[in-house]
Each structure stands twice: as C-alpha cells, then as structure tokens.
Chains A and B, each alone.
Chain A
Amino acid sequence: MTTLIQAKNLSKSYGTHQALKSVDFSVERGRIVGLVGPNGAGKTTVLKAILGLTSYEGELKVLGLDPNRQRHEIMQKVSFIADVAVLPRWLKVSNALEFVTEVHPNFNLERAKHFLAKTNIPMSAKVKELSKGMVAQLHLALVMSIEAELLVLDEPTLGLDILYRKEFYNQLLAEFFDEGRSILVTTHQIEEIENLLTDLIFIRDGKIVLNDSMDKVSENYIEVMVSKDDAEKAEALNPVMQRDVFGRKVYLFEGVSREELEPLGELHSPSVADLFVAKMKEGK
C-alpha cells in the first residue's frame, strides 16, 4: 500500500462556520508533506480528522482504516506530536517509558533509552522539572521509538528556542524518516522545514490552494529579479506577485516557461514563505 492517507470531499463544520470545504488530498508513503496555512485555515482540523480526534463529513482513509471508528487500531501505526507541551507534568521519565512500552505494540524501549542517553534528561525526573526543550526531546524520543508508518506533527516546535528547533528536525530526518514512512507536518516556521519537505499543501479558508511535490513547485513557480527598465515586459507576463528589493523588482510567475523569463533577469526558485504569501493574497 503506497497511499497512507486518502481524503475525498473532506468537510467539517463548527456550527455555521465551515472549517473544511470539501477537501481532496492524499499522502503517499515515503513523503514529507508540509501542510501550511494561516491561523484558522483548517490545518489543525485536517490533522484532527486524520487522527480520529474529531468527526467529519466525506471520505477519509488512514492506512486503509476509518479514523472515526478504528481510531485505536490506527494509533498502532500512526504517532503524533500535537504540541510539545502536552506531556503530563506529573509523569516521571522512567514511568513514561514503562507506560508506552506496556501499551504500545510497536514501541522499541532500547531505542528510546538510546535517544535519551544522548540528552541530559535524568530518568528519575518528572516532566515538570524539565525545561521546555527537554520535554520536546523526551516527547520526540518516545515518538521516534514507535515503529510508526505515519508521523503527524502539529506545530511541534512551537515555543522552543532555535537550537532545539534545528535539532528537532535534524534528528527526525536522521533517526526516524525512511522510504517506508511518511511525515505530515504543520508549522508557522516554514523556512525551517522547507528543505526537508517533499510535498507541499497550502490551505486557505478551508480550501486547498496548492498541492504539489516540491519538484513540481520549483518547476511551476519562478522568481525573477528584474531591473526597473524591464518592469513592463515582466508585468505583461502576469506575475502572481511582485515586491521591491534594493531598487529592483522581484516578480513571481506561475506556469511561465524558463525560456520566456530568462531574458528578463536572474531566475531562482521562490522560498516557500514567499510562495505562501503570494498564494494567500491571490484573488483578494
């Protein structure tokens, strides 16, 4: 099975507010998918639906199972970090390991001990005695020791300082990710993960506005730095966005060929952040 998540016409309403408007997407095995959108766009709703934490309308299959009815089977193969600060404060590190070992059929205790040995986290400490960064390390150590096929991360590095944030993703890539697994991640710090991602999904007002592999994205979207004199020529090609940088103009084009753009100036791939801004402003 290569498709881990398959969503068709996925919708969700909170009262009269439609948080998700008939969304389609899929996540294949071996991919790292970034789900990006402004606050309230529906990112967390998507993740909650996948994890069986909320009801929804439409069709959704996670590892071929129905998240609403087969949540606890799904959780044997899917792990998630909702936020770094959800480990209970009273829990002792050693007890956390003991507990997960006993309840999770796919947890590898030796691996978790190995990860923890590389940190300064004492086994006898309670979560409330650890720093925020250490709690994140502990949570990551637990989750990476689960032989999961899908890892879902919802703002996993929120509130962490930059050192831990970098290390968090580095470790995830080095120790967890391989072609048999997938990672689905949402974050506000896009620039931190853009080099890890293989796929990108933008979501706005409950709708998907971009859903492509990173390769496709860099083929489709091209940024050109144009001198003032060529500005008119560039604008004739319908750029999606423009901004001024040091007296020159930077235009972002969608679906315009390289050959057409090359005469205008230097070409490069836009950063995900710039692309995001463009996509969020589109049509407004």
Chain B
Amino acid sequence: MNTFKALIKREYWENQGSMFYSPVIMALFFAGITILLAITGDSLVIENGHHSGFWEHLPRALDQFENLNEQDRSRGVQIGLYASSAVFVLVMLIISFFYCLSSLYDERKDRSILFWKSLPISDTTTVLSKVVSVCILVPLCYFVVIGAFQLFLLVFSTIVAWFGGNSGMSIWGSSNLFGVLFNTLFSLITVSLWLAPVWGWLMLASSYAKKVAFLWGVLPVLMVTIAEGWIFRSSYFIEMVAERFAKAGLILGSNIGQLVSENEMDGLSIMWYEAYGTSAFWIGLMVAAGFIAASIYVRRSRDEA
C-alpha cells in the first residue's frame, strides 16, 4: 500500500496526453524538421535564386568550428542545446496552467469525486499529490523529452559532421552534456516552484468554481487590478504578478544568459540555484501553501458533488 505514489500515478494516467505525449509529439516534429532541412539543405532557395549550399559549405563551417577556441566552441554547443528546450518550456507552463485549473474541478464536473471519496484517502493527501504533480512530475516528464531531444541534436550533428569529413568528437567534447541536462532539469523544477503561488491560486479557483474554472482563475486577478487602479491609482498588484512571470522567464533564460556574457547580464540573470537565495522564492511558497490549504478545506467541505 503506497497511497501517495498511487495518487501521483493517477495524475499521470489522467494527464498522460498533456504531460508526456504533447512534448513527445513536439520533439518528433522538430526532429523531423531538422532532418528534413538537412536533407533538402542544398535545394533550399534562400535569396535571389541562390541555393543555400548547405552541404557545400559544411566542411568550411566545420573547420571554422574546430578553429574556435575551446571556450567559444563549448558556449556555442551549449547555447544550441539550451535554446532547443525553449518551446518545450513554454508549452510546459501552459499545460501546468490548465492542469491546475482542472485539477479539482473536473472530478466534480464528471462526479468522479464520489468514487475518489469512496476510498480511504484524505483530502489533504489528494490535493498535495496534485501539487507535487505540477511542481515535480510535470517538469520531470518534460525533462525526459527535452533531454532525449538534446541527445538527438548531438547525435544528428555528429552524423552531419561525418558527412563533412569530421569525426564530430569535438561537438560532444564541447557539449558539457551532463551539466546541460542537470541545469535543464533543475531550472524546470525551480521555475515550477517559483510559480507555485500561481499554481496554488489556480487550484483554489478550481476547487471553488461551480462553472468555468478559467474565469474564477483569471477574473479575480483582473478585478483586483482594476479595483486597485480605481481606488489607489496604483498598479502594484499586477506589477507583482507580472514580475513573478518575468522572473520565471529570467530563471529559464539564465542558462543561456550566463553563457552569452557573464558581465552584461548582471542583475538580470537568476540562475536556478540563485532563486533559492531570494526571499521572493520563499514568500511565494508560503503564499502557495495558503492557497493550497484553502483548496483542501474547500474540497473537504463542499458537498454538492
């Protein structure tokens, strides 16, 4: 008997499509495009009727790559790998948003809550399993796919390099692969934890909404913003919300940011491990805890299901 593990599996079964198949399909699509571009590289007409001459230029490009100094080469490869994850991360945040909105709403809509509640599982355990799902399980699923896609890019570049008469070894040597994978995984999890107050709020809306959970999630934010503007002629609330999202973007972008330039990004870069040193991160978690406690209370005490 392992209730929590079973609940996490339950979340995965229900949301397999958005958690796993969506990124897999995206990865396959991008991989397909990459391969297709390489194969048809020579026949692509770029400008004024000139062919791009991909294969023709390849040996020269590889030579240039080999002639770069170690540091620049490594930067180039790592930036390429990190950049490839950008679209996946965006999709991950969108599906997390909708996952939270439906997490405590769908079960009431289809009345399956009566089945879940017929089992000896407390509301606290159930709601916490959904929090862990969005903060850990979703990033983990996306990481697996992103990691596989990054590996594919390396393997594919190596094969292309072979055609250009290069062993491709320096691509791997410059990739800092384990570092990239490590940073990718932890920036995904960190960003989800950073956004925990947003997830908590959406789950509360989801537990409370009688209809259209989306409106319960979004309208109060707009209303507070408008009310604040009306009464105090200020906009602190929406700036706070916007800052939360903006900094989430910074945490995600900093893997690349610090490779591009360590000095110019000062103050604008938050590496994932730096986030844990900010008070904003911990305050966010406390706010999230408040919303989650309220969601548990609402799930337990409402009875019209």
Distance of A49 from chain B, by nearest CB (Å): 9
- In Å, the complex CA distance between A92 and B117 comes to 18
Which chain A residues lie closer than 8 Å to B10 at the CB level?
95, 99
* Selected interface stretch from A77-85, A166-174, A207-215: A77-85
With beta carbons under 8 angstroms apart, the residue of A76, A88, A104, A105 that contacts B115 is: A88
* Selected interface stretch from A50-58, A220-228, A243-251, A263-271: A50-58
- In Å, the complex CA distance between A164 and B72 comes to 72
- In Å, the complex CA distance between A88 and B108 comes to 10
In the complex, which residues 53-79 of chain A have their Cβ closer than 8 Å to any Cβ of chain B?
A: 53-55, 71-73, 75-76, 79
Distance of A277 from chain B, by nearest CB (Å): 30
Interface status of A160 (Cβ within 8 A of chain B): no
Interface status of A110 (Cβ within 8 A of chain B): no
Interface status of A260 (Cβ within 8 A of chain B): no
| Contact digits for B96-119, partner A, Cβ 8 Å, 1 yes 0 no | 000000000001001111110111
With beta carbons under 8 angstroms apart, the residue of B1, B13, B111 that contacts A92 is: B13
In the complex, which residues 199-220 of chain A have their Cβ closer than 8 Å to any Cβ of chain B?
A: none
With beta carbons under 8 angstroms apart, the residue of B3, B115, B120 that contacts A86 is: B115
Which chain A residues lie closer than 8 Å to B301 at the CB level?
55
Do B110 and A103 touch across chains, with their CB atoms under 8 A apart? Answer: no
- In Å, the complex CA distance between A54 and B304 comes to 9
- In Å, the complex CA distance between A80 and B7 comes to 20
Do B5 and A79 touch across chains, with their CB atoms under 8 A apart? Answer: no
Chain A interface residue number, banded: 20 to 34
In the complex, which residues 108-138 of chain A have their Cβ closer than 8 Å to any Cβ of chain B?
A: none
* A55-B303, A86-B111, A89-B110 known; A79 vs B118 contact (CB < 8 Å): yes
Do A53 and B119 touch across chains, with their CB atoms under 8 A apart? Answer: no
- In Å, the complex CA distance between A111 and B14 comes to 26
* A55-B303, A87-B115, A88-B112 known; A102 vs B120 contact (CB < 8 Å): no
Which chain B residues lie closer than 8 Å to A143 at the CB level?
118
Do A54 and B303 touch across chains, with their CB atoms under 8 A apart? Answer: yes
The residue in chain A whose Cβ has the minimal distance to the Cβ of B119 is A103
Do A75 and B120 touch across chains, with their CB atoms under 8 A apart? Answer: yes
The residue in chain B whose Cβ has the minimal distance to the Cβ of A91 is B13
Interface status of B69 (Cβ within 8 A of chain A): no
- In Å, the complex CA distance between A87 and B111 comes to 8
Do A103 and B117 touch across chains, with their CB atoms under 8 A apart? Answer: no
Distance of A119 from chain B, by nearest CB (Å): 18
Interface status of A48 (Cβ within 8 A of chain B): yes
Do B6 and A85 touch across chains, with their CB atoms under 8 A apart? Answer: no
Distance of A54 from chain B, by nearest CB (Å): 4
With beta carbons under 8 angstroms apart, the residue of B9, B14, B117 that contacts A53 is: B117
The residue in chain A whose Cβ has the minimal distance to the Cβ of B3 is A103
Do B121 and A103 touch across chains, with their CB atoms under 8 A apart? Answer: yes
Which chain B residues lie closer than 8 Å to A75 at the CB level?
117-121
Do A90 and B14 touch across chains, with their CB atoms under 8 A apart? Answer: yes
| Contact digits for B273-305, partner A, Cβ 8 Å, 1 yes 0 no | 000000000000000000000000000010101
The residue in chain B whose Cβ has the minimal distance to the Cβ of A88 is B112
- In Å, the complex CA distance between A143 and B13 comes to 21
Distance of A92 from chain B, by nearest CB (Å): 7
- In Å, the complex CA distance between A102 and B193 comes to 28
In the complex, which residues 174-223 of chain B have their Cβ closer than 8 Å to any Cβ of chain A?
A: none
Do B115 and A72 touch across chains, with their CB atoms under 8 A apart? Answer: no
Do A99 and B9 touch across chains, with their CB atoms under 8 A apart? Answer: yes
With beta carbons under 8 angstroms apart, the residue of A54, A90, A100 that contacts B13 is: A90
Interface centre among A51, A72, A76, A103 (most CB of B within 10 A): A103
* A75-B120, A104-B120 known; A86 vs B2 contact (CB < 8 Å): no
Distance of A103 from chain B, by nearest CB (Å): 5
Which chain A residues lie closer than 8 Å to B118 at the CB level?
51, 75, 79-82, 143
In the complex, which residues 1-34 of chain B have their Cβ closer than 8 Å to any Cβ of chain A?
A: 1-3, 5-7, 9-10, 13-14
Do A71 and B122 touch across chains, with their CB atoms under 8 A apart? Answer: yes
Which chain A residues lie closer than 8 Å to B9 at the CB level?
95, 98-99
Which chain B residues lie closer than 8 Å to A100 at the CB level?
119
Which chain A residues lie closer than 8 Å to B121 at the CB level?
72, 75, 103
Distance of B112 from chain A, by nearest CB (Å): 4
Do A48 and B303 touch across chains, with their CB atoms under 8 A apart? Answer: yes
- In Å, the complex CA distance between A105 and B119 comes to 10
Distance of B130 from chain A, by nearest CB (Å): 14
Do A99 and B303 touch across chains, with their CB atoms under 8 A apart? Answer: no
Which chain B residues lie closer than 8 Å to A71 at the CB level?
122
The residue in chain B whose Cβ has the minimal distance to the Cβ of A100 is B119
Which chain B residues lie closer than 8 Å to A51 at the CB level?
117-118
- In Å, the complex CA distance between A90 and B106 comes to 12
Which chain A residues lie closer than 8 Å to B2 at the CB level?
102
* A48-B303, A75-B119, A79-B118 known; A103 vs B112 contact (CB < 8 Å): no
Interface centre among A54, A91, A92, A99 (most CB of B within 10 A): A99
Which chain A residues lie closer than 8 Å to B5 at the CB level?
102
Closest 8 CB pairs of A and B: A102-B6, A54-B303, A88-B112, A82-B114, A75-B120, A86-B114, A76-B120, A72-B122
Since A53-B305, A88-B110, A98-B9 are in contact, a sample of 12 more A-B pairs with Cβ atoms closer than 8 Å, ordered by chain A residue number, is A55-B303, A72-B120, A72-B122, A75-B118, A82-B114, A82-B118, A88-B112, A95-B9, A98-B6, A100-B119, A103-B1, A103-B120
Q: What are 5 A-B pairs with beta-carbon distances under 8 A?
A: A86-B112, A95-B10, A103-B120, A105-B1, A139-B115
